[in-house]
Every structure is written in structure tokens, then in C-alpha cells.
């Protein structure tokens, strides 16, 4: 691991799991011992040759890492301006970046003598990735998913079941990602003696945001080295990631956080409009609050309950962000942008037709922003986007609701 990246990763969180004023452990006291055990096991294992060796072996053989960086030449020429590159996390086995941290959680579960992994999922990408890691390591797997998402992301539900996971429907409230997280957490509290909660993003109480970030940092580490060699020694001017809890963003940023000349962009879902309940743009419209066991920035009503949220991308329908993202925003290290559902769908069609890559709707937020940015930026500059997942899971939904996009462009 390069010293620069290491320097940042070792600075945060503090001993109590805080990133500035965000983070901590705000879960009920009955789970504190289980979280403390997870934190100490992880600290003891993270740098051991055995842990790193198994991780490396699985990343190469099962996941297909390293994923390449690819130049979006057709789109760059069509748009004009800065050159757009993508880090192909969509080429991971199971189709998204989520498997980067799922494999690590499965390894930790085995070391801790747990026989089961529990998690929530929105788009189903985390659920499929965790079910895959559980199958590989011989663990049971229980995935909680909002009823709305079970219907929308049917193919991923089928994949989880094929891989041996039990899929539990979350039916409260909006029946989406937040409710799936509530449901998964309750299941974990009941089963914590034999199960490990393998959270789906860089959210939740300490030590989850740290573990997810560290395991995802392989993305930024690889991307940095690959970009330096393809550009003859320079770094990208802009690094772009879509944002829900922040696992793909933190993973990608980890390679560039100590580089003040690299501008980091976080792209949120503007959904149908900027009105409350019609988007999930937490950093743009939220305020400090507590969600899923951590102090962070939350989209909340006056009484502190999370607001309704909306996005065409199930994986972004979440009323909060991880605590480290909240800190980076507060210290002005992040530029925050938002992209509407309409722009997302146009980008889905555009990248599919121009590049031969069908991107996940979540990743289309980052791509749509990168295209806008490229238009306003000189051709001497470069933009590196985390293409966090592939859009296979979205094909049925898009075809049914928007057709094939033959008469659209962005
Ligand atoms: C492909 C893809 N990208 C991005 C996300 C957003 O999550 P995060 O902010 O944790 O990267 C998801 C969540 O399901 C996803 O499936």
C-alpha cells in the first residue's frame, strides 16, 4: 500500500470511531460487545500475511481483479473537452464493487467462528456479492431487501437464491433500502452470537465504515497505479463517484485523498425533483443527525425521522451518507453534484450505444456528471469515474418503463 494512502487511512477514524464530529457507535448497548469484538478482530487481522494472502487469492481467482481502467474514447470525442476514463468495477464477478468488501467480511466471520452473514441490499448487488462470498467460504447467508426492490430487481433476487441465500422481504415504510437496513439490523441483534452483520456500505456504527472503506480501498489503490502508468506519471484532475452510503466513493477516493490537486466529486441522486421526498441528495439537502447507529448527515423531517427518498436507482434510495463522507464534505474536500432520473436514463442509453457498456443506473449518476464536467473542462484535463456496476440488473426495468432509447440522447 503506498505511504500516501496509508497515511490517510491510518488518521481516521479516531479511537472512538469518529471522523471529525461524525461516526461513533450509536447502536443500543446490547450490541456494543459484538461490535467491539469485530473491531478488535479486524485490527488484529487486517495486516497479517494470512488475511492479506487469502484476500489477494480470492480477488484474483474469484473476483477477477485487478479491474482495468478504460478510456471512453467515443463519448469523449462526441462531448469534447476533458478525457473521460472509467475504472471498470462493473467487471468484478457479480457485477459491482460490493464484492470487494463482502469477501473480507466472510473471511472475518470465519476467523470469528460465526457461521452466518446477514445484510441488507437495495439494488441487489450487495446481496448477490455477499451470497457469493458466503457460498465460497461455506457460510449461511440472510439478505434483507425492500419489497419494492424485490419486484424491481427480480434477476438479482433469483441469483441470491441460486447461491443459497435466504431473502427476507422488508415491508415497513417505503419498503426500500432504509427499511431493509432496519430489518437486517434487527435480525443481527437476535442472531449476533452466531452471525456477523456484513453491512452493504460505508455506513453504520464503528467499526463498519472503517472496515468497508479499507476493503474497498483496493479500487483507489489499483486506479492510482494504473492511471500513473497509462498517463506517463500524472494523476487524474478529477475523480468522480456516485453516492449513497459511500462504499464505492470511499474506495476510489482512498487512492487520491492526500493529493490536493485531485478534485473529488460525489454525485447524488436528484430523483424526480429537488422537493423533499422526490430525491435522495443527502449532502445537498440534509443536516447533521443520527442514522443506523452513526452520527452523520441525514435527510430528515423536523422531528428527526428520515424523510421519504426517491431515485430511479434502487441502490441510491437512502436518506443518509457514511460518516467519513460527511466529514470530507464538511472540510470541503468534496465537490457535491446531483443528477436527475431523466439524466440517468439518457446516460444509460448513451453509454450503452456509444461504448458497448451497459452501466448500472447508480453508476450512470457519476457518468452523467462526468459528461457535463467534460464539456466545461479543457481537453488537457482528465476525469476518472468509478464505474461501480453493470446494468444487467436494470435492463428489464428500463426496457419496460423507457424502451430501448432509440429516440433519446442527453
Ligand atoms: C452499482 C452500485 N453502485 C453504487 C451503489 C451505491 O452504494 P455506495 O454508495 O455504497 O457505493 C450501489 C448500491 O447498491 C450499487 O449497486
Alpha-helix residue ranges (DSSP H) falling in 237-340: 247-253, 282-285, 323-330
Ligand 1 near 297 CB (within 6 A): no
Cα–chain center distance at 146: 18
Q: Fill in the DSSP letter of residue 149.
A: H
pLDDT at 410: 44
Cα distance between residue 263 and residue 257, in whole Å: 9
Cα distance between residue 59 and residue 57, in whole Å: 6
CA of 97 to the centre of ligand 1 (A): 8
Ligand 1 atom closest to the Cα of residue 121 is 14
pLDDT at 360: 98
CA of 380 to the centre of ligand 1 (A): 30
* Active-site position among 98, 116, 152, 393: 98
Count how many residues are written for the chain: 410
Ligand 1 atom closest to the Cα of residue 123 is 14
Out of 99, 269, 316, 322, mutate this one to test ligand 1's pocket (max ligand atoms within 8 Å of CB): namely 316
Out of 219, 244, 334, mutate this one to test ligand 1's pocket (max ligand atoms within 8 Å of CB): namely 244
Cα distance between residue 110 and residue 94, in whole Å: 21
Helix (H) or strand (E) holding 289: strand 287-291
Ligand 1 near 410 CB (within 6 A): no
Going residue by residue through the chain (410 aa), what tens digit of pLDDT does each one get?
555 556 776 789 999 999 999 999 999 999 999 999 999 999 999 999 999 999 999 999 999 999 999 999 999 999 999 999 999 999 999 999 999 999 999 999 999 999 999 999 998 999 999 999 999 999 999 999 999 999 999 999 999 999 999 999 999 999 999 999 999 999 999 999 999 999 999 999 999 999 999 999 999 999 999 999 999 999 999 999 999 999 999 999 999 999 999 999 999 999 999 999 999 999 999 999 999 999 999 999 999 999 999 999 999 999 999 999 999 999 999 999 999 999 999 999 999 999 999 999 999 999 999 999 999 999 999 999 999 999 999 999 999 999 999 864 44
Question: Using an 8 Å Cβ cutoff, are 184 and 178 in contact?
Answer: no
| Selection from 254, 291, 286 nearest residue 269 by Cα | 286
Question: Using an 8 Å Cβ cutoff, are 242 and 363 in contact?
Answer: yes
Out of 88, 102, 123, mutate this one to test ligand 1's pocket (max ligand atoms within 8 Å of CB): namely 123
Protein residue with least CA distance to atom 7, ligand 1: 244
Catalytic, 379? Answer: no
- Residue 188: what are its φ and ψ, rounded to 5°? -65, -45
Cα–chain center distance at 190: 26
pLDDT at 350: 98
Cα distance between residue 51 and residue 41, in whole Å: 11
Protein residue with least CA distance to atom 4, ligand 1: 362
pLDDT at 11: 87
Go through the domains of the chain in sequence order and give each one's CATH number: 19-61+98-212 (3.40.50.1100), 65-95+217-402 (3.40.50.1100)
One DSSP character per residue, 78-147 reads HH-SSEEEEEEGGGSTTSBTTHHHHHHHHHHHHHTT--EEEEEESSSHHHHHHHHHHHHHT-EEEEEEEH
Cα distance between residue 35 and residue 27, in whole Å: 10
Q: Which three cell numbers stand for residue 266?
A: 460525489
Q: Which three cell numbers stand for residue 91?
A: 467487471
Handedness of CA 241, 217, 25, 113 (dihedral sign): positive
Q: Which residue has the cell 469523449?
A: 76
CA of 200 to the centre of ligand 1 (A): 9
Protein residue with least CA distance to atom 13, ligand 1: 315
CA angle 343, 345, 346 (to 5 degrees): 65
Half-sphere exposure of 114 (CA within 13 A, CB side): 25
Contacts of 43 (CB under 8 A, 6+ apart): none
Half-sphere exposure of 34 (CA within 13 A, CB side): 22
DSSP-based three-state secondary structure for 270: strand
Ligand 1 near 96 CB (within 6 A): yes
Q: Which three cell numbers stand for residue 180?
A: 431493509
Ligand 1 near 244 CB (within 6 A): yes
Catalytic, 388? Answer: yes
CA of 125 to the centre of ligand 1 (A): 8
Ligand 1 near 269 CB (within 6 A): no
Amino acid at each position: 500500500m503506498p505511504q500516501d494512502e496509508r497515511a490517510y487511512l491510518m488518521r481516521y477514524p479516531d479511537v472512538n470511531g469518529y471522523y471529525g464530529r461524525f461516526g461513533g457507535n450509536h447502536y443500543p448497548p446490547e450490541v456494543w460487545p459484538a461490535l467491539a469484538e469485530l473491531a478488535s478482530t479486524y485490527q488484529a487481522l487486517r495486516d497479517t500475511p494470512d488475511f492479506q494472502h487469502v484476500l489477494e487469492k480470492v480477488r484474483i481467482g474469484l473476483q477477477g481483479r485487478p479491474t482495468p481502467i478504460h478510456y471512453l474514447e467515443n463519448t469523449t470525442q462526441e462531448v469534447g473537452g476533458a478525457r473521460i476514463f472509467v475504472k471498470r468495477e462493473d467487471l468484478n464477478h457479480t457485477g459491482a464493487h460490493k464484492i470487494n468488501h463482502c469477501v473480507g467480511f466472510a473471511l472475518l466471520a470465519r476467523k470469528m467462528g460465526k457461521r452466518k452473514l446477514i445484510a441488507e441490499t437495495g439494488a441487489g448487488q450487495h446481496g448477490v456479492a455477499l451470497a457469493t462470498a458466503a457460498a465460497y467460504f461455506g457460510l449461511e447467508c440472510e439478505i434483507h431487501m425492500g419489497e419494492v426492490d424485490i419486484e424491481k430487481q427480480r434477476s438479482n433476487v433469483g441469483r441470491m437464491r441460486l447461491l443459497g441465500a435466504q431473502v427476507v422481504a422488508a415491508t415497513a415504510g417505503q419498503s426500500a433500502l432504509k427499511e431493509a437496513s432496519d430489518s437486517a439490523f434487527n435480525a443481527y441483534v437476535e442472531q449476533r452470537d452466531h452471525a456477523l452483520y456484513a453491512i452493504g456500505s460505508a455506513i453504520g456504527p464503528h467499526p463498519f465504515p472503517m472496515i468497508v472503506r479499507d476493503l474497498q480501498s483496493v479500487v483507489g489503490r489499483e486506479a492510482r497505479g494504473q492511471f500513473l502508468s497509462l498517463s506517463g506519471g500524472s494523476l487524474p484532475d478529477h475523480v468522480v463517484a456516485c453516492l449513497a452510503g459511500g462504499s464505492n466513493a470511499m474506495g476510489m477516493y482512498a487512492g487520491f485523498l492526500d493529493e490536493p490537486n485531485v478534485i473529488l466529486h460525489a454525485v447524488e441522486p436528484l430523483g424526480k425533483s429537488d422537493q423533499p421526498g422526490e430525491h435522495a441528495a443527502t449532502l445537498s439537502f440534509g443536516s447533521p443527525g443520527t442514522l443506523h447507529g452513526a452520527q452523520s448527515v441525514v435527510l430528515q423531517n423536523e422531528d428527526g425521522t428520515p424523510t421519504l427518498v426517491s431515485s430511479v436507482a434502487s441502490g441510491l434510495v437512502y436518506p443518509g451518507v457514511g460518516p467519513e463522507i460527511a466529514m470530507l464534505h464538511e472540510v470541503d474536500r468534496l465537490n457535491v453534484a446531483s443528477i436527475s432520473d431523466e439524466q440517468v436514463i439518457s446516460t444509460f442509453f448513451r453509454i450503452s450505444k456509444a461504448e458497448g457498456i451497459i452501466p448500472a443506473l447508480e453508476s450512470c449518476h457519476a457518468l452523467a456528471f462526468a459528461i457535463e464536467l467534460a464539456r466545461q473542462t479543457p481537453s488537457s484535463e482528465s476525469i476518472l469515474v468509478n464505474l461501480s456496476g453493470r446494468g444487467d440488473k436494470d435492463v428489464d426495468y428500463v426496457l419496460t418503463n423507457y424502451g430501448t432509447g432509440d429516440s433519446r440522447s442527453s
